[in-house]
Every structure is written in C-alpha cells, then in structure tokens.
Amino acid sequence: MAGGTTSSGRSKVKAKGVDDSHRANAPVEDTTNLHQLEAQHGILGIVLLLFCGTVSSYLCTYLPEALTRADLDRHPTAFIAERAWDNLQVLNDFGPKPTGSQANELKAADYIRREIEKAKVTAHAAQLVETSHQTISGAYPIAFLGNPLTSVYRNVQNLVVRLAGQKNADGSGDALMLNCHYDTVASSPGASDDGGSCAVMLEILRVLSRAPERNRHSIVFLFNGAEETPLQAAHGFVSQHPWAGEVRAFLNLESAGSGGKEQLFQAGPQHPWLIEAYGRAVRHPAAQTVAEEIFQSGIIPSDTDFRIFRDFGHMPGMDFAHTINGYRYHTKFDTIDYLSLPVLQRTGDNILALTREIANGDELGRASNDTQLTSGYSVFFDVLGLFFVSYSAAMGRIVNVTIAVLSLIIPLMELCRQVRRVGERSVFQQALVGLLGTVCGTGTSVGVVLVIANRLDAVGRAMSWYSTPYLILGLYGCPVILMHCFAHRLCGHWFSDNKSPLNLTQIVRARLVGVNLFWTLLIIPLTLANIRSAYIILVLLVLSLLSTILTSVLGYQRLPRRWLALHLAFQIPAMLWATKFYHVLLKLFVPITGRMGAGSNPEYLIALLVACFGVLCVSYLVPLVGLLKQTSELTARLSVFAMIAFLLSCCTQVGFPYRNESNGEPSLQRHYVTHTLQVAQRDGRPVLEGAGFLFREMDRNAIRVIRGIAKPSEAVQMRRMASCRTMLFCGVPFYSIWHQIRFDNYWMEGSPPAIEKHTLPSFELVQVKQHSNKIRQYGFEITHRHQTCVQSALIIAPKSGARLVAWSLMETVPGTIEFNGEWAHFVLITYGLADNAPWPVTFDFEYDPNVVPDGSDDKLFDVSWVNTYWEYADKHTDEFRKLIEQFPDWAHVIPSVAIVNITAY
C-alpha cells in the first residue's frame, strides 16, 4: 500500500527517463516525511465525521421561538402559536375522533364550526368571509398496492371557508386551498395527525381575515372530516362542492410523526411555479426532491389527500408533513404532551408566508392556461435548513453532466501539469485505483451489512436499534467504514508501483479523482433516467471541484499539509450535507419499520440506507488513509465500536426494541386485535357460526408477543383458518387491503363478541329483477341509524359463469382482488353522520343461462358483509378485556369488534 512507503524512500527512486529538470520541479516537501500522518489522525477524521453528524442533526431539528399573545402588539400580522395551541388543546381533549364517532361528527365538527364563526365575526370590514358546511355521500375507485377497491362514503362532513379575493374582470375568481383533516384513527387523539394542522389553519384564517386589504385571489380553507377512512372527504369536496372549481392550487398539511419540521415532500405534479413560490416565501425551508421520489415510489405505507386532489380534482399542490418521532404516529401518544409551541410556530410562519405569496401572485390566475407555468419538473432542496435551492429538471440534467465532466477533467489536468508527461500514466492508473477502491468498498460494505442484517434477524435480535438508533452507527456504520478502509488499502497494495514518479500526496489526490469518477458513473445514468435526486451527488462533486480549483489558485499542490487542510475544509460542508440525509431518512424509516408488517426483514432496509449514505459520508475521506503511517489503530477502534454495539444489541436491555412512556420517549409495538363473529347464512338462516380473535402482525417481532398471549397451538395463520374451507375470504373481517393482503395475521378461537343489534348497519335484499335472460338485478337496502364509529365492507364474489357488470355505487365497476385463491370485488363503506333513511343499492349480474337457467333459484354470487366497530370498549366481553390486558405496557393495542356475515344470492 502507498501508505506503507515513506516519502524519503520514494524520493530516492529514479524513474527511467526522468531528467534533472523534472526533479527540480518536484515538491519541496518530497524529501521530508511531512506528508505522512500519525495513526491517530485517522481517529480525528472519524471525530470530524461525528461532529458534522451532530451539527446536521441539530439543524434538522432546530425550531424557532414561538410567539405568544404578548407579542401581538409588536407583530399584529404574524402567526401567533399560542392561539393555535389553545385550539389544539380543545381538539386533543376530545380524544380519538375516528369518522362516525360522536367525538368527530358532533364535538370536533361543532368546535371548528364555532371557531370559524368567531373568525368571521372578528374579520376586518374589507374582508368577505363565506362559510359552507358540506355533508356529502359518494364513491370512487382507487387502488392500493395494485389492488383495486371501491371507496364509498355516506354523510361525511367538510367545513369549508372562503376568504374572498379581488374578483377578476369577468367576475370569476381563482383560489388557493389549504387542507387539513380533523378526524383521527381509532385510539389516537391525533394532536399531530392532524389536529395541529387544523389549529394552524384556524390561526392563519384569523390573521388573514383581519388584514385591511383583500388578497388578490381567494383562499379556501378545507377542514375535512374523513381522511383516515381513507381520503374520502377530500373526494367529496373536489367532486361535489361548488367552490372546488375555483381552486387552482392547494397546500395540504399532514403529519406522519409527532413534531419537528414540516417537510415539503410532494409538489406538482409539474407546475414548477409552486416550488419557485416556496423558495421566495418560506423563511425556514425543509424540502427535498428525494423525499418526493421516495414517497411516490410506494415504499412508505401511507397516503394523503394530495392523491385525491391530484387524481380526481386535477389540481397541482404541495404536500407537507411532520416526520419526527414517527413512533407516536397513530398511537395513543400522539397527544399535545409531545408537541411544542415552536412546532406550530414554524409551520404557521411558513404556511402563512407561502399562502400570502401564492394568493397575491400572478401565477395562480395563469395556472389553468399558461403551459410555461404548468409544464416541467423541478429539482429542489434546502441546504441544512439555511437556504433553499431550486431549478428546472432540464437545467439539472445540464448541470449534472457538466459538473461531472469538469470534476474529472480539471483535477486530472492539474495533476498531469505537475508531473508533466512522465507521470501522466501514473495519474490515470492511480485514479483507476481510487475508483476500484470505492467500488469494492461500496460493494463489500453492502454485502457485509446485509449479512449482519440477516444474522441479527436469524438470532431474534431484529430491530434492536428501534428505540436506540445510535446503535445503528456501531452495527452498520462502523462495518461500512471498515470495508471502505480495507478496500482502499488492499487496492493500493495490489496496484502499488515503487517506480511511480508520483509522491504520496499526488497518489492520494489521484485516487480522489477516482472517487469523482465513481460518482460520475452514478450521476450520469441517474440523470439520463430522469432521477432528479441525483442532486445529492451533484453537491459532493461541486465541493470536490471547488477544492481542486482553490488548491490550484493558492498553489497548495506542493504543500501537502495545506492541501490536506483545504481538502478537509471543503469536506466539512460535504459531510454536513451527507449526514443530513442520514438523519432525515433514518428518523423517517426507523419508526416506519414498526408498521411495515413482518413479511420483510427491516434490518435489510436500515442496513442498505446506512451503506448508501455511508459512502456519501466517507468516500472523500477514506482515500486519505494512504497518508497514514499505519491504519491498524483506526481499524482496531472501529472494530471495538462495532463489537460494543453488537454486545449492547444482543446481550443487554439497551437492545430491546420497545419502550413505554416512563422515559418520556415512548416507542411502542403496535397491535390490532379484532374480536370477530363469523356467520354464514343460507336462505336467511345461519348455518355456520364461528368466533375468535384476529391479530395483525405489524412488525418483525410481533409474532412473539402474539404467541405469548395466544398459545402457539391456538394461534393459527390467517390463511390456514378452518373457515377458509367454508367461508368467502376465510371469513376474515376485511377492512383494509394494505393490512389484510400484505400482512400476516393470526387467528385464535374464542367466544362471540357482545353485539348490540340496533347499532349494526344492515344489508337486506329487497327485490330481484330479471332484465333479460342474461342480466339479473339485485336490489338491497343499507341502513346506518346509530351514531357510532363503524365501517362496513362488501366483498362480492361472482360464481362461475356470472359477472358483475353494473351497480348503483358509481358508473364503473373496478376489477377484483385476490385472497387465498378467491377473487372478489371489494367495497369499503364509511359512515359519518347517522341517517334514518335506508340507502338503496343495486347490482346487475350478467350470467350464462346455460350454466344458470333463467328463473332458477341457483345463486349468482356470494357476499361477505363485514362491519367493524372501532369504538366499542364499553361493550367488550370479559374475555376480550383480559386478552388486551395481557399485552405488555410497551405495546399499543387498537381493539375492534367485527361481524362477518356471508350469504349466497
């Protein structure tokens, strides 16, 4: 290896054909040992990396100070977090607010309506505040994971406010819309998801309505009451509300965590003017194109109203979400106790400024017909939250290729100029050694961390880092750095050349050019594939290029220590940049592993993230090991750190994945448990009944807890239930394609749940009409008379020779989904406000009269009518209560009661 040869020894080697004039041009320090470093300097490099990681972590979570009512006199037009906090406190105190519950449909809706009326009363005389209370029913097709479903909603609510703008000359108006949802999932107060956003919108409404002048364009505030169902009230607005036609753009406020910065993670589609407006207006930017591309890849098990506004409303917009502390997302700990005033202040400052910018700009009025505004994608990113950068994707392609080429040409020319013709070949050889070392380091680090991930899972220690993410640094970070060090050392040893005219510093600089080549070979294909996230690599290449140019300008080529200092100075912003992505993505994905199901090993995901962003962090540091006299001290210490992490993970309580609230930072294991009654009917009479408990396996370790509560002999895999032989879709209480099809669930037999029949939505056949010898229509009535949180599902499975061709739910009939070898149409029905009037629905089946003779009593289809109660705690049986109590205190249990009624028609 180059690092093993002293400079004094190398200076005595005379290359063939090197004359005295060439030697005269050799660096002065060539005859000294100054450019070799002691072993401890390698440790300082690791310390520098950790320091940069600490700074970037702080910048990722830094929040501004909050304003209170005492600041009103000095900031009369500013967002006041304390007023928003008061609204959030009330919404939080209502507790969980799932759609259909009294807390959501009556209490929360009534409270928000009253706050809107207060804003209307206190508005400035110049303002016109209009309100609308929308109660809507509808249906639309949508697909999750490629599985189609029909989403139906009945009497869900939207509270809508329009702050009128200055009218256009023709009397029409264009509007910007702000959207939040005040409903929550069952068992979660939803302070962050999404009560905080609604509180922010109420305060923005107050501030803007008291301004002495109207905005140029109208602003619509949509408080929707059915987002978690999923996304239904938003569809009701865009498809049925008269103001929806005015909306030219929207801002959607969401949350997938509990606090932190609101990240802009989706924009458009296209409409680059939105990103430009964000850049002009937002004081505290937090936006990354990579977040948009990750979210739209489908890897994150969530969706937002952005999808509805985009796909059904054909509106462009921006999607914001808090992502810190995703452990508390959709749990009982998503409360105001785990939020802070600065969270609301930062979000309010940014959204208020962006609202003002868009509502008073030219673009909103031109967005519907100006193709220059609406076409093209943007590359956008914040730099450590300090400032914001955006440019067009077309410009990005030019910049990426240009910088990639310059990052190779300029340092190669500069090095070749030093050694002239006799050393040019060695420069290119060492650049290829640097490339090979980086490629081998990347490949071996990926392989090693995947092996570690596999072994940790095999010994039952998966997710040991879940509550203590710093263990990831030892478990995966240290092996990544070690593999890169070993790869560069071995490549340097294999391809060492004692006759090289290059001194040690020049060898290392040439190998750094190889690192540039590595990133060039990545950024160009990514750019050609229209992957806009290639800007992450671009920043590294820009900093490397600037370092090279400044080295040449200052004449540091002959001064190794000054060159090294300058190189490290430029690597500090590079490491801040790279470690920012490490923190942002791990803070996002580590909590997500707790709700990704058990079907895949989460260790692989985390290992790959660390390997990928590890090479970003160390690629320009590792070649510097060639300057060290010895690397054994560095590798030994990294090995010790890795071993300590392994011991902590595998042999101590530190590696236990979950924590209760005793330390103030709960990180819970999630469990959905459904007490289920299964009934199969024939000609209106029950012929088969079963009952038990369905457990959903939400993460890799959930089965251990399930088998500890339900004995192994009692816990049966869902697709092996006895009812799979006698009931449609195994008699499973289907209500979520994502969880029922993708996740592994388990069944334990038990006694039937207690059901109040009058609260149960009904599905009754009222008539059968024969339209032709091939078409038969079935008429049903659905009723929902009791104000409670219950969701229904229809699973309609046509028999052989029959086909569902039309229904009254909507104009089209989506395709079928497959479960356990059976195919059926899946309909999810959500109820908001109760309704005494029955709801008639019809289904038209086409069939082959040779298979089903006309007028016969043969059945054409099977129906599974599923009703799931999400708020039924006061009706839980003693057996169900005892079962729930068996879960440990670090588990979050979401109980429900379901009735599955299967009938052939």
333-356 tens-digit pLDDT = 999 999 999 999 999 999 999 999
DSSP state, residue 78: S
Helix axes 289-296, 560-592, angle to 10 degrees: 40
If pLDDT is split at 50, 70 and 90, which confidence band does 687 have? confident
Within 8 A by CB and 6+ apart from 753, the residues are 675, 676, 677, 691, 875, 876, 877, 880, 897, 898, 899
Please determine, for residue 524, whether its predicted confidence score (pLDDT) is greater than 80.
Answer: yes
Residue 328 has what pLDDT?
Answer: 95
d(CA 624, CA 485): 9
Specify whether the backbone of 660 is left (phi greater than 0), alpha (psi in -120 to 50) or beta. beta
pLDDT in tens, 164-205: 998 765 556 899 999 999 999 999 999 999 999 999 999 999
Q: Which phi-psi region, left, alpha or beta, contains residue 731 (left: φ > 0; alpha: ψ -120 to 50)?
A: left
Q: Which residues contact 43 (CB under 8 A, 6 or more apart)?
A: 633, 634, 637
Instruction: Give the orientation angle of helix 602-618 with respect to helix 535-554, to 10 degrees.
Output: 20
Residue whose pair of structure tokens reads 């290896």 in the numeric block: 1
Residue 787 burial class via C-beta count within 10 angstroms: exposed 0-12, middle 13-18, buried 19 and up: middle
- Fill in the DSSP letter of residue 13: P
Task: Tell whether the model's pLDDT for residue 591 goes beyond 90.
Answer: yes
Q: What is the CATH number of the domain that holds 104?
A: 3.40.630.10
Residue type, 207: V
The confidence score (pLDDT) of residue 456 equals: 96
Say if residue 332's pLDDT is above 80.
yes
Q: Given this model, what pLDDT does residue 11 score?
A: 36
- Whether residues 364 and 441 share a domain: the answer is no
Q: What share of the chain in percent tops pLDDT 70?
A: 94
Q: Tell me: the pLDDT tens digits for 250-284? A: 999 999 998 899 999 999 999 999 999 999 999 89
CA distance 514 to 440: 12
For the chain, how many structural domains are there in total?
2
What average pLDDT does the chain have? Answer: 91
Model pLDDT, residue 28:
43
Residue bearing the bigger pLDDT, 741 or 545: 545
- Average confidence (pLDDT) over 561-577: 95
- Percent of the chain whose predicted confidence (pLDDT) is above 90: 78
Whether residue 557 sits in one domain with residue 516: yes
Domain assignment present for residue 725? The answer is no
H helix or E strand, kind and range, residue 569: helix 560-592
| Least confident segment among 363-377, 466-480, 760-774 | 363-377
**Residues 304 and 357 grouped into a single domain:** yes
Do you know the residue count of the chain?
905
Question: Does residue 644 fall inside a structural domain?
Answer: yes
| Residue 10 reports pLDDT greater than 70 | no
Res 691 pLDDT > 90: yes
Sign of CA dihedral 255, 257, 259, 264: negative
Does residue 478 form part of some domain? Answer: yes
222 phi and psi angles, rounded to 5 deg: -110, 110
Strand 147-163 to 802-807 pairing: unpaired
Of 610-624, 840-854, 880-894, the range with the lowest mean pLDDT is: 840-854
Query: Which domain covers residue 593, as residue numbers?
Result: 394-655
Look at residue 856 and tell me whether its pLDDT is greater than 70.
Answer: no
Residue 857 within any structural domain of the chain: no
Looking at the fold, whether 578 and 482 belong to one and the same domain comes out as yes
Same-domain status, 402 and 337: no
Residues 6+ apart with CB under 8 A from 712: none
* Nearest Cα residue to 584 out of 596, 572, 576, 594: 576
Give the pLDDT confidence of 15-49 residue by residue, as tens digits: 333 344 343 344 444 433 444 677 778 888 899 99
Q: Residue 891 and residue 883: Cα distance in Å, rounded?
A: 13
User: Which of 655, 672, 696 delimits the end of a domain?
Assistant: 655
Q: Tell me: do 131 and 231 sit in the same domain.
A: yes
Sequence-distant (≥ 6) Cβ neighbours of residue 329 within 8 angstroms:
192, 193, 255, 256, 257, 258, 591
Are residues 228 and 302 located together in one domain of the fold?
Answer: yes
Q: Quick one: tokens of 341? A: 């005033």
Q: Measured in whole angstroms, how far is the alpha carbon of residue 308 from the centre of its chain?
A: 17
pLDDT at site 267: 96
Instruction: Tell me what the mean pLDDT of segment 676-684 comes to.
Output: 88
Whether 311 and 414 map to the same domain: the answer is no
Residue 756 lies in a domain: no
The pLDDT of residue 187 is 93
Instruction: Please check the confidence at residue 1 and state whether its pLDDT lies above 60.
Output: no
User: Would you call 750 helix, strand, or coil by DSSP?
Assistant: coil
If asked whether residues 353 and 436 sit together in one domain, one would say: no
- Residue whose entry in the numeric block shows the structure tokens 């509180």: 199
- Lowest mean pLDDT segment, chosen from 538-552, 650-664, 673-687, 831-845: 673-687
Q: Among 211, 156, 540, 565, which residue's Cα sits nearest to residue 359?
A: 211
Q: How many C-beta atoms lie closer than 10 Å to residue 550's C-beta?
A: 15
Which phi and psi angles does 251 have, rounded to 5°?
A: -120, 120
Pick from 559, 414, 502, 627: nearest CA to 11: 502
Look at residue 275 and tell me if it is in a domain.
Answer: yes
- Of 655, 678, 701, which residue is a domain's last? 655
Is residue 302 domain-resident?
Answer: yes
CB 607 within 8 A of CB 614: no
- Map residue 447 onto helix, strand or coil: helix
**What is the predicted pLDDT for the residue at 372?**
84
Using DSSP bridges, classify how beta strands 790-798 and 861-869 pair: parallel, antiparallel or unpaired: antiparallel
Taking only the tens place, the pLDDT of each residue in 484-512 is 999 999 998 888 777 788 888 899 999 99
Same domain, 348 and 415: no
**DSSP string for 102-168:** HIIIIIIHHHHHHHHHHHHHTS-TT--EEEEEEEEEEEEEEEETTEEEEEEEEEEEEEEEEE--PPP
Mean pLDDT (whole number) for 295-318: 93
Q: What is the pLDDT of residue 854?
A: 56
pLDDT of 26 reads 43
Which residues have a Cβ under 8 Å from the Cβ of 407 and sit 6 or more positions away? 516, 519, 520, 541, 544, 545, 548
Q: Which domain-ending residue is among 633, 655, 677?
A: 655
Q: Name residue, tokens 């220590």.
A: 561
315 lies in the same domain as 443: no
Whether 200 maps to a domain, the answer reads: yes
**Residues 276 and 405 reside in one and the same domain:** no
Query: What is the predicted pLDDT for the residue at 2?
Result: 42
